[in-house]
Amino acid sequence: MVGMEDYGQFETAWCPGCGNHAILKAVKKALAGLGLAPHEVLLVTGIGQAAKAPLYMNCNMFTGLHGRSLPAATGARLANPGLTVIAESGDGCSYGEGGNHFLAALRRNVNITLLAHDNQVYGLTKGQASPTTMQGMKTKAQPFGQPSLAFNPVAVAAAMRAGFVARGFSGEIEHLAGLIQEAVRHPGFALVDILQPCVSFNKLNTFSWYKERVYRLGPEHDPTDFAQAMSKAQEFGERIPIGVIARNDRPPFEAGVPGLARGPLAARSLDRDALRRIVESYA
Ligand SMILES: Cc1ncc(C[n+]2csc(CCOP(=O)(O)OP(=O)(O)O)c2C)c(N)n1
Ligand code: SF4
């Protein structure tokens, strides 16, 4: 029987009141609830405040370059499908520096989950605008207001008919843990974009700002209906829906790679002579 305590309890370097604390709790709750032991889980991360989350968990982890968690997670999952692979990082890391990897992951549909802690700023580097910063928001680096239109990851993922697209809120831990469980169970690429206050640098999208707006999607929302999914994905203002926004049945990338049908790469023996011959053939 796996419990949250198996994932450990560590002192963090986050500000008191930061949404990351609740997300960390929800991730532990979700994994323990799925009965996954720490050695069965790999968390792959980039750089930033959110990217520290796996450092505070007792399981396998890999820290990549800024924005590069998804390629590393993809490689790990293809080499060892026995692992539950979760990429976990901030909105800047996932949609800014890692933006092209995000698009590639949506297209490929490898069986991994992306948990994007979306605080709408660059927290670690002291509050510059990120791709999801709302247009007009003032920051120390954008004193006249962020001039660009905000990137909407949920709408982009829904438009690309991603397998599983959800939005969560760090203020609703139980609900968020349920979404993470559904995302991990989904047999393909799954996105959970998680709204998270940054109490130090985002003075607009505060905890109470979210509380006034966030509402749970009810059973009337059909995530398999493209038009409904796109409509809910674009709702971000006076009201912000949380829950499963879009869902599509698409075969995972793994199903289309004949080499993987012969079993996990990690379990195959390496023929060093054959490898040497291949390398030498390029000399
Ligand atoms: C290629 C590269 N560009 C920029 C940086 C500087 N940098 C480090 S963390 C960070 C912002 C992280 O923001 P986000 O991913 O939103 O995470 P948060 O800290 O808000 O959780 C930046 C710009 C870097 N380390 N590497
Ligand atoms: S700066 Fe923001 S994101 Fe970073 S720990 Fe503090 S509240 Fe959290």
For ligand 2, pick from 11, 12, 15, 120 the residue to mutate: most ligand atoms within 8 Å of CB: 15
Are 157 and 106 in contact by the 8 Å Cβ rule? The answer is yes
Residue (of 59, 109, 108, 127) closest to 88 by Cα position: 59
What DSSP letter does each residue of 109-133 carry, written as one string?
A: --S-EEEEEE-SEETTTTSEE-TTS
Output the pTM of the full model. 0.96
Tokens (6 digits) for 109: 């549909």
Amino acid 264: pLDDT: 85
Residue (of 109, 110, 113) closest to 44 by Cα position: 113
Amino acid 4: pLDDT: 97
Judged by DSSP in three states, 194 sits in strand
Judged by DSSP in three states, 15 sits in coil
* pLDDT tens digits along 167-199: 999 999 999 999 999 999 999 999 999 999 999
* pLDDT tens digits along 49-99: 999 999 999 999 999 999 999 999 999 999 999 999 999 999 999 999 999
CA-nearest residue for atom 8, ligand 2, is 18
Residue ranges lining ligand 1, Cβ < 6 Å: 47-50, 66, 89-93, 97, 117, 119, 121-125, 130
Mean pLDDT for the stretch of residues 264-268: 86
Strand partners, 61: 43
119 CA distance to ligand 2 middle (Å): 9
pLDDT at position 259 over 90: no
Confidence of residue 240 (pLDDT cuts 50, 70, 90): very high
Confidence of residue 260 (pLDDT cuts 50, 70, 90): confident
**Mean pLDDT score of the chain, rounded to an integer?**
96
Give percent above pLDDT 90 in the chain: 94
CA-nearest residue for atom 5, ligand 1, is 66
Mean pLDDT for the stretch of residues 253-273: 88
224 CA distance to ligand 1 middle (Å): 34
Give percent above pLDDT 70 in the chain: 100
In angstroms, the CA 192 to CA 123 distance is: 19
Tokens (6 digits) for 39: 């050695």
* pLDDT tens digits along 134-145: 999 999 999 999
Residue (of 97, 100, 72) closest to 87 by Cα position: 72
* pLDDT tens digits along 14-55: 999 999 999 999 999 999 999 999 999 999 999 999 999 999
* pLDDT tens digits along 194-206: 999 999 999 999 9
122 CA distance to ligand 2 middle (Å): 9
Cβ count within 10 A of residue 219: 5
Indicate which atom in ligand 2 lies nearest the CA of residue 19: 8
Residue ranges lining ligand 2, Cβ < 6 Å: 14-15, 18, 20, 49, 119, 123, 198-201
13 CA distance to ligand 2 middle (Å): 9
Tokens (6 digits) for 231: 């409509």
